[in-house]
């Protein structure tokens, strides 16, 4: 049994058929590269998994559990994290708050007033997480909006990794990064794999995908065109899948 | 922590999350008023200011929560009027025991806000339109219930809430203070408050991280309505009547107080402490204009101008900050 199983996923936006019956599985601890042209449906497919979109057809199973059309909160709680293409950060809130967004640990004030966010804990753990990632962020108290693109990316990654996920979906995580930072993300993906955490990597940079993935899946016009073992395919072949020649 | 080579601006450590400028404005305003009128700093005048600020302040708290979530509630003043009339109607016209005056006022406010929230989140009608419609509906309903006449004569227990002075402090001021402390705590320190700000800051991020955006929004409008209910209760018990014109145009002052207190008009930032300063600025301004015998028409104009100026200043600052 695979960690994640997608069966015949369909999604329409009005008259646009973004996904037309996508069937795909991801093994625990494996890295799957998801490639495809702009508008192929990659982001839509991932957002259907994380509960942002409700599929119009098909079923999703994770860890043996039926999770089709679950809420984003529940999907996160069972161990799927996603780093969104637009990062999904709250710019006026600080780094620490963003890392713990939606999952703030709480404590009791004076022993009887409940629901107080445990700020010291959030700040300390956010700092620890960023340090572990080797991220260069000026302060966890800075509003995320003042950070550079690479720093914001680090915050989004830290948020995805703080709660021990089983599957991490990365949607174009290296698009806004400098070369040195890209290497860092690739190292991170290898490290996740070593820890048995599965990764779905969406990227336009095929060299990156080839460098870290076990399998490469190509999506075109909402359908899976190819699903190949990375070691057994070539750059040219994948390019031809993407452009459809 | 490693330090980035490009020095980002130092994060502002501000425990109460308000704009320091607004406190400066308040102090300067007080100094000017003191120079203009020797009467300004007298104890009785200060209590007067606080009393006038209490009603607006509670309304402004509702405005702060809603605006911080990138919403808007234009019905605050009308709902205040409806609450005042409904509470007075229950005890005076229906002859129910005095606690129904309190429950009725709070319920009417909550119910109006609840309806706002349902319409905005379930039917997906813009908040601007829904609450503008409610502004008309609530005011009309207040006039219908009261037959267009103020409902006079409340039980003394209720009047105490508006006119009582334990330890020399007016009850409305005490109620305002308690409400402010509780709502400040919620907004600044709890998940509910944090999620309110995050929804206003980036709704997609809120949704993606598992915050139930629609449900949260609904509760915010109900909360805002409840604040209008409390303000209505204060108003009703202070003037000892359910006046259907109570709170006319108060949303203008309340929203202005929230904005000059540092609430981001586009959501994502706001604090009740800041809003209290904003409400005090409005209170001092009105009081000062009263002391100088400026007609109330001009006061309305002044408040409107302050609102526009405060928003302009905020946007100007933002432009400078992102340059
Ligand atoms: N929220 C949306 N509303 C309407 N159409 C959408 C929406 N999201 C995506 N689409 C459409 O679905 C198709 C797939 O888009 P997307 O998943 O973003 O592609 P990719 O991530 O592979 O570039 C495109 O035609 C896009 O225009
Ligand atoms: Mg995309």
Cα–Cα distance, B68 to B188 (Å, whole number): 12
In sequence order, the 6+-apart residues with CB closer than 8 A to the CB of B24 are: none
Res B17: pLDDT: 60
Mean pLDDT of A70-90: 94
Counting ligands in written order, which one lies closest to the CA of residue A219?
Answer: 1
Q: Measuring CA to CA, how many Å separate B48 from each of B43, B53, B240, B247?
A: 8, 8, 17, 18
Q: Measuring CA to CA, how many Å separate A132 from each of A81, A101, A146, A183?
A: 18, 19, 22, 16
**Chain B residues with CB-CB distance to A under 8 A?**
1-11, 13, 185, 189-192, 194-195, 197-198, 201-202, 204-212, 264, 268-269
**CA–CA min distance B252, chain A (Å):** 26
Cα–Cα distance, B58 to A58 (Å, whole number): 50
In sequence order, the 6+-apart residues with CB closer than 8 A to the CB of B15 are: none
Which of the residue ranges A58-62, A114-118, A218-222, B222-226 would you say has the lowest mean pLDDT?
A114-118
A54 C-beta closer than 6 A to ligand 1 = no
B205 within a domain of the structure (yes/no): yes
Cα–Cα distance, A104 to A97 (Å, whole number): 8
* pLDDT score of B212 more than 70: yes
Contact B202 A131 (CB under 8 A): no
What average pLDDT does chain B have? 91
B19 within a domain of the structure (yes/no): yes
Mean pLDDT of B295-322: 81
Residue with more model confidence, B136 or B3 = B136
B108 within a domain of the structure (yes/no): yes
Q: Domain range holding B182? A: 11-316
B113 within a domain of the structure (yes/no): yes
DSSP structure string for B255-300: HHHHHHTT--TTSS---HHHHHHHHHHHHHHHHHHHHTT--HHHHH
* pLDDT score of B315 more than 90: no
B179 within a domain of the structure (yes/no): yes
Over the stretch B142-193, which tens digit does the pLDDT of each residue have? 999 999 999 998 999 999 999 999 999 999 999 999 999 999 999 999 999 9
Over the stretch B246-294, which tens digit does the pLDDT of each residue have? 999 999 999 999 999 999 999 999 999 999 999 999 999 989 888 888 8
* pLDDT score of B8 more than 80: no
Mean pLDDT of B103-116: 98
B321 within a domain of the structure (yes/no): no
Over the stretch A100-122, which tens digit does the pLDDT of each residue have? 999 999 998 887 778 899 999 99
Largest CA distance in chain B: 72
Selected for mutation to probe chain A from B201, B262, B267, B323 (highest A CB count within 10 Å) is B201
Cα–Cα distance, B133 to B129 (Å, whole number): 6
pLDDT range class, residue B7, cuts 50, 70, 90: very low
Nearest CB to A142 within list B8, B190, B211:
B8
- Domain with B177 in it: what CATH number? 1.10.3470
* Eight-class DSSP state of B110: H
Selected for mutation to probe chain A from B205, B214, B215 (highest A CB count within 10 Å) is B205
Give me the sign of the Cα torsion angle A66, A225, A205, A183.
Answer: positive
Q: Is the ipTM of this complex over 0.90?
A: yes
B2 within a domain of the structure (yes/no): no
A222 C-beta closer than 6 A to ligand 1 = no
Which of B308, B310, B133, B100 is CA-nearest to residue B221?
Answer: B133
Cα–Cα distance, B227 to B66 (Å, whole number): 11
Res A106: pLDDT: 92
User: What's the structural domain count of chain B?
Assistant: 1
Which of A56, A77, A45 is CA-nearest to residue A169?
Answer: A45
Over the stretch A187-210, which tens digit does the pLDDT of each residue have? 999 999 999 999 999 999 999 999
Element holding B152 (H helix, E strand): strand B151-152
Closest C-alpha to ligand 1, atom 21? A43
Task: Return the best residue to mutate from A41, A43, A52 for the ligand 1 pocket (most ligand atoms within 8 A of CB).
Answer: A41
Structure tokens belonging to residue B259: 């904005």
Res A127: pLDDT: 95
Cα–Cα distance, B106 to B234 (Å, whole number): 11
Residue with more model confidence, B14 or B288 = B288
B4 within a domain of the structure (yes/no): no
Over the stretch A128-182, which tens digit does the pLDDT of each residue have? 999 988 888 999 999 999 998 889 999 999 999 999 999 999 999 988 788 888 9
Res B319: pLDDT: 66
A13 C-beta closer than 6 A to ligand 1 = yes
- Contact, B44 vs B207, CB < 8 A? no
Res A81: pLDDT: 97
Over the stretch B43-63, which tens digit does the pLDDT of each residue have? 999 999 999 999 999 999 999
* pLDDT score of B13 more than 60: no
In sequence order, the 6+-apart residues with CB closer than 8 A to the CB of B258 are: B60, B63, B64, B67, B270, B275, B278
What average pLDDT does chain A have? 93
Counting ligands in written order, which one lies closest to the CA of residue A34?
Answer: 1
């Amino acid at each position: 049994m695979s960690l994640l199983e997608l069966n015949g996923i369909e999604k329409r936006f009005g008259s646009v058929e973004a996904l037309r019956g996508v069937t795909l599985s991801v093994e625990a601890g494996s890295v799957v590269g998801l490639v495809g042209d702009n508008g192929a449906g990659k982001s839509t497919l991932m957002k259907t998994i994380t509960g942002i979109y409700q599929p119009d057809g098909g079923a999703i199973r994770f860890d043996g559990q039926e999770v089709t059309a679950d809420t984003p909160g529940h999907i996160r709680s069972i161990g799927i994290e996603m780093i969104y293409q637009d990062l999904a950060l709250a710019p006026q809130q600080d780094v620490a708050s963003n890392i713990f967004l939606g999952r703030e640990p709480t404590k009791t004030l004076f022993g009887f007033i409940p629901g107080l966010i445990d700020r010291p804990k959030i700040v300390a753990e956010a700092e620890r997480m960023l340090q572990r990632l080797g991220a260069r962020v000026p302060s966890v108290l800075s509003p995320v909006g003042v950070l550079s693109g690479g720093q914001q990316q680090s915050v989004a990654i830290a948020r995805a990794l703080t709660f021990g996920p089983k599957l991490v979906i990365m949607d174009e995580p290296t698009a806004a990064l400098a070369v040195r930072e890209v290497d860092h993300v690739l190292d991170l993906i290898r490290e996740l794999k070593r820890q048995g955490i599965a990764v779905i990597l969406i990227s336009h940079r095929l060299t990156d995908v080839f460098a870290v993935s076990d399998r490469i899946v190509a999506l075109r016009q909402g359908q899976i065109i190819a699903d190949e073992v990375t070691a057994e395919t070539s750059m040219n072949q994948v390019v031809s899948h993407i452009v459809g020649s | 922590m490693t330090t980035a080579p490009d020095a980002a601006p130092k994060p502002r450590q501000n425990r109460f999350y308000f704009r320091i400028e607004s406190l400066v404005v308040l102090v300067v305003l007080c100094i000017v008023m003191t120079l203009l009128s020797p009467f300004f700093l007298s104890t009785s005048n200060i209590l007067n200011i606080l009393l006038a600020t209490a009603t607006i302040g509670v309304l402004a708290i509702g405005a702060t929560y809603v605006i911080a979530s990138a919403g808007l509630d234009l019905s605050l003043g009308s709902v205040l009027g409806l609450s005042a009339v409904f509470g007075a109607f229950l005890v005076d016209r229906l002859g129910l025991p005095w606690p129904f005056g309190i429950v009725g006022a709070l319920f009417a406010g909550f119910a109006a806000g609840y309806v706002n929230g349902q319409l905005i989140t379930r039917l997906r009608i813009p908040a601007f339109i829904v609450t503008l419609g409610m502004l008309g509906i609530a005011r009309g309903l207040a006039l219908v219930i009261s037959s267009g006449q103020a409902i006079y004569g409340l039980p003394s227990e209720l009047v105490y809430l508006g006119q009582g002075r334990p330890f020399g402090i007016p009850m409305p001021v005490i109620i305002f203070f308690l409400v402010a402390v509780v709502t400040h705590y919620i907004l600044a320190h709890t998940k509910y408050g944090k999620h309110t700000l995050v929804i206003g800051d980036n709704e997609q991020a809120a949704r993606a991280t598992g915050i139930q955006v629609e449900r949260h929004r609904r509760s915010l409008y109900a909360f805002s309505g409840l604040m209008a209910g409390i303000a209505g209760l204060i108003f009703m018990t202070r003037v000892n009547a359910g006046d259907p014109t109570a709170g006319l145009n108060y949303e203008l002052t309340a929203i202005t107080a929230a904005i000059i207190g540092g609430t981001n008009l586009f959501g994502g930032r706001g604090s009740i402490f800041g809003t209290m300063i904003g409400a005090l600025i409005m209170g001092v301004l009105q009081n000062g204009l009263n002391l100088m015998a400026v007609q109330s028409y001009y006061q309305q104009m002044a408040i409107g101008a302050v609102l526009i100026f405060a928003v302009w200043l905020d946007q100007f600052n933002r432009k400078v900050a992102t340059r």
